C-alpha cells in the first residue's frame, strides 16, 4: 500500500487519541503469563509483534515464525530453551535471519541449553530442544542488544536456581533491562541490579495479579513529532500514560521541551502542547538508552530546519533495517544535508524540503511513522505503508484524526 500524505487544513492540531499497550511491556507480560498462568494482562498491545509472541508461546512442537519481531525472537529463544519436552524451530522474516542471536545462544548454551543453528552460525533460524536448565551463572556482552539480557531475566525465576548474570562491556538500552526487572518485582520476584551484576531468585508460583500495560511511548513519539512541526496552540491528548513510566522512550517529554512541546500528565493521560515557536540552532541527544526514537527526532529536526547531532546509535544497524543508512537515504531524497557513521547522525539546517518525494520504508514500521509528520511541511508519499502494523496497526487511522489528508495512491 502506497499512501499520499498532505497537510491538515488546520495546522493548529487538536485531537485525543487512545494508543494501545507498549509492545515491549506486552511481550514481557505474555512470557511471564506463560510461566505463571494465573497472571492477567490488561491494555495489551494490538501490534503484530505481540500477536506473533502470543501465537509462538502457544506452540510446543514444530515451526514458530515470528516475522519481524525482535523481542519475540529473543524472548522465545530463552523460553523454549528452558521448557523441557518442547521442541521448536524458531524463525522469522528474511531480515530476522540477519539479526544476530549469538550472544543469547552462547549464554543459554553455557546454562545447558540445546540450540542448533539451521543456516548461518549466530543467526536464526534455530532449532531448540527444551531442557531443564540448572546452571546459575553466566556472563555475556551487554553492548549489542539488551533483548538478550531481558530474555534470560524473564525465564530466570522459572529456573530451579534462579540466575546471576555478569554483564560485560558498556550496557546498551538499559531502561529495557530495568523494565524487565520492574515487571519481575511487580509479581513478587526478588531481583537486584548492582554494578554489572544482575541476580534473579527462583519462584515456583506467584500471587494472582493483573499486569496493566502502559500505552506505547515509542508510538507517542510520532505525535511529539507532529506537534513540534504544527502551529503554536496545537494540543494532542494521548492515553493511557503514567508520569513514572517503565519505558525509556518517555524521555521524549524532556527532549521535545527543547523543540517547544510541553507535556502535562494527569488522569492517565499526557497532553502535548506546542507552546512556543522558538527552536534551538542544534539539538544534541545521546540515544543509547532510547534507540527507537532516533528516526522520529531526526525527521522532526529536519522538518524544523534545525541542525541535529544524535549519538549512541550503535544498535540501529541491526534493527528492522539499517536505520542509519535508511535515514541517510530518505532524508537526502528530501534535500537534507546528512551524514552518518556506525553510531552517530549529523544533520545540517535545511531551508527547503522537496515536495512529493516517495519515502521507502524498508520493512521498518518506524521509517513510515517517523516521516509521516513531515506532511505538515510538505506533501509526500509513503511506500509500503502497511509496515506500521509491526507496532501500531491503527497509526494511519489515528493520524487522520489530526486532520492529515491521507489517500491511497
Ligand X SMILES: C=C(OP(=O)(O)O)C(=O)O
In order of 5, 87, 378, the CA distances from 352 in angstroms are 18, 56, 10
H-run or E-run covering 274: strand 269-274
Query: Which residue number, 5 or 184, has a Cβ lying nearer to ligand S3P?
Result: 184
For position 366 contacting ligand X by CB under 6 A, the verdict is yes
Which residue number is nearest to ligand X in terms of Cβ? 70
For residues 378 and 389, which CB has a smaller minimum distance to ligand S3P in the complex? 389
Minimum Å gap between C-beta 111 and ligand S3P is 20
* Residue 70 in the binding site for ligand X (CB under 6 A): yes
Burial class, 205, CB count within 10 angstroms (exposed 0-12 / middle 13-18 / buried 19+): exposed
Answer yes or no whether residue 69 interacts with ligand X by CB under 6 A: yes
Q: Where does this chain touch ligand S3P (CB under 6 A) — which range of 53-61, 142-150, 256-264, 326-334?
A: 142-150
Question: Taking the complex as a whole, how short is the minimal distance between the CB of residue 326 and ligand X, in angstroms?
Answer: 12
Find out whether 390 is annotated in a ligand binding site: yes
Question: Hey, what's the cell of 163?
Answer: 540466575
Q: Exactly one of 26, 29, 45, 71 binds ligand S3P (CB under 6 A); which one?
A: 71
Q: Which DSSP state fits 171? A: P
Task: Indicate the residue among 241 and 404 with the shorter CB distance to ligand S3P.
Answer: 241
- What secondary structure does DSSP assign to 303-357, as a single string? HHT-EEEEE--TTGGGSSS-HHHHHHHHHHHTT--EEE-SS-EEE---S---SSE
Active-site position among 48, 51, 65, 292:
292
From the list 89-97, 130-138, 146-154, 193-201, the region that binds ligand S3P by CB under 6 A is: 146-154
Q: Is 337 annotated in the active site?
A: no
The footprint of ligand S3P on residues 307-366 (CB under 6 A) is 315
Number of shown-chain residues binding ligand S3P (CB under 6 A): 12
Exposure string (b/e) for 150-159, b if CB count within 10 Å is 16 or more?
bbbbbbbbbb
22 binds, among ligand X, ligand S3P, none (CB under 5 to 8 A by kind): none
Q: Which does 297 bind (CB under 5 to 8 A by kind): ligand X, ligand S3P, none?
A: none
Question: 346 labelled as ligand-binding?
Answer: no
Could you please report the per-residue DSSP string of 3-41? EEEE--S-SS-EEEEE--B-HHHHHHHHHHHHHSTTEEE
Q: Determine the interface stretch with ligand X among 50-58, 64-72, 220-228, 354-362 (rule: CB under 6 A).
A: 64-72
Q: Which helix (H) or strand (E) holds 138?
A: strand 137-141
Backbone angles phi, psi at 202, to 5 degrees: -75, 150
CB of 233 to ligand X, least distance (A): 31
Report 7-26 residues binding ligand S3P (CB under 6 A).
24
CA distances in angstroms from 83 to 10, 26, 184, listed in the order given: 55, 21, 19
**Percentages (nearest 5) of helix, strand, coil residues in the chain:** 35, 25, 40
Interface residue with ligand X, options 71, 158, 219, 300 (CB under 6 A) = 71
Could you list the active site residues?
A: 292
Enumerate the known binding-site residues for 3-phosphoshikimate: 23-24, 28, 145-147, 173, 292, 319
Amino acid at each position: 500500500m502506497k499512501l499520499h500524505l498532505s497537510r491538515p487544513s488546520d495546522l493548529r492540531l487538536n485531537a485525543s487519541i487512545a494508543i494501545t499497550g507498549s509492545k515491549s511491556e506486552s511481550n514481557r507480560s505474555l512470557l511471564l503469563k506463560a510461566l505463571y498462568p494465573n497472571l492477567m494482562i490488561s491494555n495489551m498491545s494490538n501490534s503484530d509483534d505481540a500477536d506473533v509472541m502470543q501465537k509462538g508461546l502457544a506452540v510446543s512442537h514444530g515451526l514458530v515464525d515470528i516475522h519481524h519481531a525482535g523481542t519475540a525472537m529473543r524472548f522465545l529463544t530463552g523460553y523454549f530453551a528452558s521448557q523441557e519436552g518442547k521442541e521448536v524451530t524458531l524463525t522469522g522474516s528474511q531480515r530476522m535471519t540477519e539479526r544476530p542471536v549469538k550472544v543469547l545462544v552462547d549464554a543459554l548454551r553455557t546454562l545447558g541449553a540445546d540450540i542448533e543453528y539451521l543456516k548461518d552460525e549466530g543467526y536464526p533460524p534455530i532449532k531448540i530442544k527444551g531442557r531443564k536448565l540448572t546452571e546459575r551463572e553466566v556472563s555475556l556482552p551487554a553492548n549489542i542488544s539488551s533483548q538478550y539480557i531481558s530474555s534470560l531475566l524473564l525465564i530466570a525465576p522459572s529456573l530451579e536456581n534462579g540466575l546471576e548474570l555478569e554483564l560485560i562491556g558498556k550496557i546498551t538500552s538499559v531502561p529495557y533491562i530495568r523494565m524487565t526487572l520492574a515487571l519481575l518485582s511487580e509479581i513478587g520476584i526478588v531481583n537486584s541490579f548492582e554494578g554489572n551484576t544482575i541476580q534473579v531468585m527462583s519462584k515456583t508460583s506467584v500471587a494472582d495479579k493483573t499486569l496493566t500495560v502502559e500505552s506505547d511511548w515509542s508510538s507517542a513519539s510520532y505525535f511529539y513529532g507532529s506537534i513540534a512541526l504544527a502551529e503554536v496552540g496545537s494540543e494532542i491528548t494521548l492515553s493511557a500514560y503514567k508520569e513514572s513510566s517503565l519505558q525509556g522512550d518517555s524521555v521524549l517529554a524532556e527532549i521535545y521541551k527543547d523543540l517547544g512541546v510541553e507535556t502535562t500528565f494527569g488522569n492517565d493521560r499526557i497532553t502535548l502542547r506546542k507552546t512556543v515557536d522558538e527552536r534551538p540552532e542544534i539539538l544534541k541527544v545521546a540515544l543509547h538508552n532510547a534507540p527507537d526514537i532516533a528516526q522520529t527526532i531526526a525527521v522532526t529536526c529536519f522538518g524544523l530546519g534545525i541542525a541535529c547531532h544524535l549519538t549512541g546509535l550503535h544498535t540501529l544497524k541491526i534493527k528492522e533495517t539499517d536505520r542509519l543508512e535508511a535515514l541517510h537515504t530518505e532524508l537526502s531524497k528530501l534535500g537534507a544535508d546528512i551524514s552518518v557513521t556506525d553510531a552517530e547522525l549529523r544533520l545540517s539546517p535545511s531551508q527547503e524540503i522537496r515536495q512529493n518525494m516517495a519515502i521507502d520504508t524498508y520493512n521498518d514500521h518506524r521509517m513510515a511513522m517517523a516521516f509521516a509528520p513531515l506532511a505538515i511541511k510538505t506533501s509526500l508519499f509513503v511506500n509500503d505503508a502497511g509496515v506500521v502494523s509491526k507496532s501500531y496497526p491503527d497509526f494511519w487511522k489515528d493520524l487522520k484524526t489530526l486532520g492529515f489528508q491521507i489517500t491511497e495512491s
